A and B are shown apart, each in its own frame.
Chain A
Amino acid sequence: MDIIHGKVWKFGDNVDTDLIIPARYLNMTDPEELAAHLFEPIKGENFNEIVGESDIVIGGDNFGCGSSREHAPIALKASGVACVVAKTFARIFYRNSFNIGLPLIIQPEAAEDIQDGEILNINLGEGKIKNQTTSKEYSFPALEGMMIKLLENKGLISYILNEGYDSSEKRESSG
């Protein structure tokens, strides 16, 4: 899995899906169009234009709570966000992100410490976050089986088409 290297955009607790992408834009499905409204209630319009390719979002507790709209992780990914680190994630948002190949990391200490604008190096395979600005390091538990499969296949659909649930069932029962 790739190394993620980018700048931090920090947010607080309970960033809900209405803040990530307001409901009135849900009649769109095009990732680029959605990205133009990313975090609009907090950051204003066209925030995506200042997000760099491979930047990192930091959230507090319950990041992504609220509706099941996949538009939220889609808008994040299309804006260039490569990963979200938070204290806790809402579960549907968690599934949705991995299902489209956007990795999430649960690391409460890092989510607390790391500040807006700092530069991070994240190694997903090794479970390491390095804050280049402060030189502080954090580790997080390696991702579990299904999560790795989803990231390796760049999402659920290619996983199903490439490998299929049946093979995973066989693997699990034989292991």
Chain B
Amino acid sequence: MAHTITEKILAAHSGKKEVNPGEHIVADVDFMVANDITAPITINIIEDIKNAQIKNEQIALVPDHFTPNKDIKSAQNVKLLREFSKKHGVKYFFETGRCGVEHCMLPEMGLVGPGDLVIGADSHTCTYGALGCFSSGVGSTDLAGALLTGKIWLRVPETIKLEYSGELKEWVYGKDLILMTLKELGNVSAIYKSLEFTGSTISKLSMYQRLTMSNMAVEAGAKNGIFSPDKITEEYVKDRVKRNYKMYQSDPDAKYSKVRKFDVSNLDPQVSLPHLPSNAESVKKIGRIEIDQAFIGSCTNGWYDDLEIAAKVLKGKKVHPSTRLIIAPPTPEIYMKALRNGILEIFGEAEAVIGPPTCGPCLGGHMGILAAGERAIATTNRNFVGRMGHYDSEVYLSNPAVAAASAIAGRIVHPEEVL
């Protein structure tokens, strides 16, 4: 029978010839990840079991959310991760200076690759689907189960196929495609399902823009968001991934629960209005929205390419006097590359503050919290109530060009307005 890429990866990992949507399987896990928020619960579970043995080479523990540790409790949590890693011989434990946002670290270091089955105790684990692997967010108990057994129970998802055609306009990126898609799908229609991104627009999209798109699959409720691996994938993974990887493709006659086609040649940059990522609207249609803060970073849009786009807009300009711009390159590697190439200098000259690699502002953790009544534009993935600070603050989501331009204008604008 014909199958989708997701079904093929799940079948290969559960020792079956084929699997079908709705089926419950127990699958082998290739790689796992947990952070300073979710790992402590996992660790407590494991330490309660006498003589527990764990899959210590298949996990990365990445304390990224409150790094550099924001308070005593956060420091205690990271200490717990550090000591656990030592005791159990966890191969990949990263800390401040060597640590960044987990979903940027793992692809960058080649710890995940095409054809893998990856789970992570973080909802944006779906990011790695861009590489052509099955990758899904789970909870801390799930992760403990997988650390003990190397396996996880899963329900095989139905797949929604998304087909994009048309050339993207200038200042329009993967972020705009996914925000538009979330609006079209709504935020519940993909619950328990897989999203498969295809079409002529997608085959030209850079790896970073694909990562941005699969990152936000969970905002439609999806279990995973996956791309067919191709030359662009191969180019990205070949010098990074040290394990054997396998490039699966969906069969042309595979069964989908739904197929949606989008002509994106007229798409403008999108902005998600509070308080749902699916509240997307063209930046040209939202009227005058003044902002107090802009944030560029996170696992969604903090990639080197995103910083480069922001720098293109910010070069020789100043951030509006009534606006603050915070930029946090999400990994040390991205930070150093931006430093060497003069991008951080452009940000500094524009009077932005450059933060350390951290999740910090993205989840209202630290380093850029909003007060009551304040408004921010962010290149992140969530604009829920109180996501970046006070419950009465507001978050608007956009691509890095719009965020940078808005920081200059002091209100949300199309990049063309400031260039």
Interface residues of A (CB under 8 A from B): 14, 16, 18-19, 22-24, 26-29, 41, 61-62, 65-71, 73-74, 88-92, 95-96, 99-100, 144-146, 155-157, 160-161, 164-165, 168-169, 172
Contacts and interface: CB of A to CB of B under 8 A. Distances in A.
A67 B122 contact: yes
Contact of A68 (B40, B122, B364): B122
A76 B64 CA distance: 26
A99 B141 contact: yes
Interface string B58-89: 00000001100011011001000000000000
Contact of B153 (A16, A28, A89, A146): A146
27 contacts: A14-B276, A18-B387, A22-B386, A26-B65, A27-B71, A27-B74, A29-B40, A65-B187, A66-B123, A68-B122, A68-B123, A69-B37, A69-B139, A70-B139, A71-B41, A89-B191, A92-B123, A92-B138, A95-B138, A96-B138, A99-B141, A99-B142, A99-B145, A144-B24, A145-B24, A160-B149, A164-B149
Given A68-B121, A96-B142, A165-B26, A28 B73 contact: yes
B385 interface: yes
Nearest to B387: A18
B187 A14 contact: yes
Interface string B354-380: 000000000111000000000000000
Contacts of B140: 70, 96
B382 interface: yes
B49 A68 contact: no
Contact of A90 (B44, B191, B385): B191
Contacts of B45: 157
Contacts of A91: 191-192, 221, 223
A41 B139 contact: no
Please provide the 5 A-B residue pairs with the shortest distance between their CB atoms, ordered closest to farther. Answer: A96-B139, A27-B73, A99-B141, A70-B139, A68-B123
B71 A18 contact: no
A78 to B, nearest CB: 13
B137 A68 contact: yes
Given A23-B365, A67-B123, A160-B148, A62 B24 contact: no
B291 to A, nearest CB: 21
A89 B139 CA distance: 15
Interface string B225-257: 000000000000000000000000000000000
B92 interface: no
B188 A160 contact: no
A43 to B, nearest CB: 12
A26 B37 contact: yes
B141 A27 contact: no
B38 interface: yes
A9 to B, nearest CB: 18
Chain B CB within 10 A, most for which of A16, A67, A160, A165: A67
Contacts of B188: 61-62, 88
A74 B141 CA distance: 11
Chain B CB within 10 A, most for which of A99, A100, A161, A164: A99
Q: How large is the interface on B (under 10, 10 to 19, 20 to 34, 35 or more residues)?
A: 35 or more
Contacts of B218: 92
Contact of B41 (A14, A29, A145): A29
Given A156-B141, A157-B141, A157-B144, 16 more contacts: A16-B385, A19-B384, A23-B364, A23-B365, A24-B365, A29-B77, A65-B221, A68-B120, A68-B121, A70-B139, A96-B139, A96-B141, A144-B24, A146-B24, A157-B148, A165-B26
A70 B143 CA distance: 11
B145 A68 contact: no
Contacts of A61: 188
Chain A CB within 10 A, most for which of B24, B145, B364, B384: B384
Given A62-B191, A88-B191, A27 B149 contact: no
A171 B193 CA distance: 26
Nearest to A22: B386
Given A19-B385, A41-B385, A157-B145, A68 B363 contact: no
B66 A165 contact: no
A175 B36 CA distance: 41
Chain A CB within 10 A, most for which of B36, B74, B148: B148
A67 B149 CA distance: 24
B38 A68 contact: yes
Contacts of B364: 22-24
A74 to B, nearest CB: 8
A66 B382 contact: yes
B406 to A, nearest CB: 24
Nearest to A99: B141
Given A70-B140, A160-B149, A18 B385 contact: yes
Interface in B28-66: 36-38, 40-41, 44-45, 49, 65-66
A172 B19 CA distance: 13
A161 B363 CA distance: 35
A100 B143 CA distance: 12
Contacts of B13: none
A161 B141 CA distance: 13
B317 interface: no
Contacts of B144: 156-157
